[in-house]
Structures are given as C-alpha cells and as structure tokens.
Chain A
Amino acid sequence: MHELSLIQELLQMIMESARIHNIRRVHHVRLVVGEWYGALPCALRFAFEALTRHTICCGAVLEIASLPIRYKCRECEGEFEFMDNCPICASRDIYISQGRELYIDYYEGE
C-alpha cells in the first residue's frame, strides 16, 4: 500500500520539475527502487496509472529498475546476498551496499 504514497511523491517531484522546465507532456519516467523498500512493481504501475489521470504524466511509460539487496563486508570487501555474516571471511561487520535506492533517475517529455 505504500506504493501509492511513493508514486504521489514521484508525481509531485516531476510536476515541480516540469513546471520549471516548461514541459507540458511527460512520455517516460525511469524509477529506481531498491528491494529494501518492498515496493511491488505491479502496485507501483497501478498507482502510477491511477494517479496520473488528468495530469501531464497521463499515458507516460513508467520504467522500473529494481535493485536487489546486496551486502558488503567491511573487512574483506566481499559482496554477497544474505545477512548474518560474510561468507568469505566470516566477519560480522557487514552493511547493505545496494537495495536502499529510491529515486527518479530521469523523465522525458516535451
């Protein structure tokens, strides 16, 4: 359900930017979403379709780039997919190196 709020924020940012650049029609939006946020692409698309009606984004293509969660070890710099500890050197000093992204990469319009 938070997909709706995320798309609301997305639209607000695009409208604001489109106003500044005098863009009257948006054709394409590329969104980058890390797996951390648990946002479902189908729910994002549904929200995008529902909320863009009667806006300059109506009918635009929403491209979603999903990034899976990846962890990195601070000791040996190894990268891997699960948590607990580093499969290479067994260190517990690990952090999320990918998957916490949530931003509009770009949009195109005229």
Chain B
Amino acid sequence: MKVNKGEYELKVILAGDLLQVNNNQAEDNSSILKAHKILGINIIGSPGAGKTLLLERTIERLKGDAKVGVIEGDIATARDAMRIGAHGVPVIQLNTEGMCHLDARIVGRALSEMPLSDIDILFIENVGNLVCPALFHLGEDFKVAVFSVTEGSDKPHKYPQIFREARVVLINKVDLIDYTDFDLNACKSELLEINSSLNIFTLSAKTGEGINPWVEWLKGIMG
C-alpha cells in the first residue's frame, strides 16, 4: 500500500482483490469443515436444472454409507428445505432476499447452526444461477455443476466460468434427450476442452438412470 500525501488530497493505492473478504471467510469455513472431517460440495446450476431432486436421490442412495447435511440457498421460500428435510437429514434454508448467489459469510452463519459432528458430507445447494455463484467460493472442497439436456448443449461454451471452476458436471434429464436436439458427445468434448479434469456423469434424477455411478464416485472420494 502506498500513500502519497498531497496538500489536501490523498491518493491511496490499494490493489486489493474485491473478493478477498469473501475468500477469507471461505477459508474459515473450509477450516471448520476440515476440523470436522466433512466433505463440502457446492452445487451450482440454473433454475429448473433439477438440483434439488438430484440431491434427494443422492441422499437416498448415500443412506447407511454417509451422514448427510444440507444447506439450501434460495432467493425466497423454504420449499426446497422442506423437501430435503423429509429425508430425515439436517437442513438449513438460507433466503438471500434477492441476491443471486450464496456468499461465504451467509454459509458461515449456517455452519454455526449445523450439527457438524454428525455430518460426513455437506451439500450446499446454491441459488439457481449458472453465472454469479461461480465467483464466490464458500469454503467447499469442490463445485458440482448441474445442467439438463432441455437447456441445450451450448451451455458449456456460453457459461465457461462455472465449468472451469467445477470438478464434476452432472448432465440431468437424460430421459428426455430424444425430445431435444441435445448432442451428448459434442457437449462432453466441449466440456473437456474447457476443463480436461472434469468428471462428467449423465443421469436422470427422475427415473434414477445413471445415479449410481455418480454416488459410487462420491463414496470413492470420501475414502
């Protein structure tokens, strides 16, 4: 930091990263999760991609293998938290009141209310949005991007940030693929062009098709 004192006017050169405050809080969250040996997963996708149903299916299949906790992020309502709560796992609903993404601060508050010593995997379902959530780290171990075949196979190139940041991509609603012009192979190679280390799973939360490979992968990660 450099301060040049003029007669009245001060010029302060900051060069401080704007996301620094969020990133610091994200690191605090990350330490809390690590101290409790919790795997933190940030789920990001557009509204209607099927994030909540996917989460429900995943919770069902993890039963007996891992204790799950969920933080639900929505602009308004507690509908998603009620759906998740019906599966008997601890869930906290965050309402962002118009904000288009979760930030590390609000997630930090939710963490303080969670029964952390009784959780192996914490899913944080972000606000439905493919753009802004990619910028705000929450302290998770990795991000999962969810999008569905009805959204079109051009999404990776149109919204590259999230696919660069994610470790996993779940392509949902594959049961509907015959009703769309979604090109699965082209989409997968586009995804890998953007981020060659992506793990891609094609599935349908509705029919259950393809859910097992994803859940098995998750179990493998937990060790």
Contacts and interface: CB of A to CB of B under 8 A. Distances in A.
Interface of A: 1-2, 4-6, 9-10, 12-14, 17-18, 21, 23, 27, 31, 36-38, 83-84, 92, 102-110
Interface string B135-152: 110000000000000000
Contact of B99 (A5, A36, A84, A108): A5
A7 to B, nearest CB: 9
Secondary structure dominating the interface of A: mixed
Given A12-B21, A36-B161, A103-B17, A1 B10 contact: no
Q: Which 5 pairs across A and B sit closest by C-beta, in order of nearness?
A: A1-B100, A2-B132, A106-B13, A104-B14, A9-B18
Interface of B: 1, 3, 8-22, 98-101, 103, 131-132, 135-136, 160-161, 193-194
A108 B11 contact: yes
Contacts of A2: 100-101, 131-132, 135-136
A6 B12 contact: no
Contacts of A36: 161
Given A2-B101, A4-B99, A37-B135, A9 B12 contact: no
Contact of B10 (A5, A12, A92, A110): A110
A13 B20 CA distance: 9
Contacts of A102: 17-19
B214 to A, nearest CB: 28
Contacts of A10: 18
A4 B98 CA distance: 11
Given A13-B21, A109-B10, A5 B103 contact: yes
B131 A107 contact: no
Nearest to B160: A83
A69 B3 CA distance: 31
Nearest to A4: B99
Contact of A108 (B12, B136, B194): B12
A2 B16 CA distance: 18
B12 A23 contact: yes
A103 B18 contact: yes
Contacts of B132: 1-2, 5
B131 A106 contact: no
Nearest to B15: A103
A107 B12 contact: yes
A63 to B, nearest CB: 13
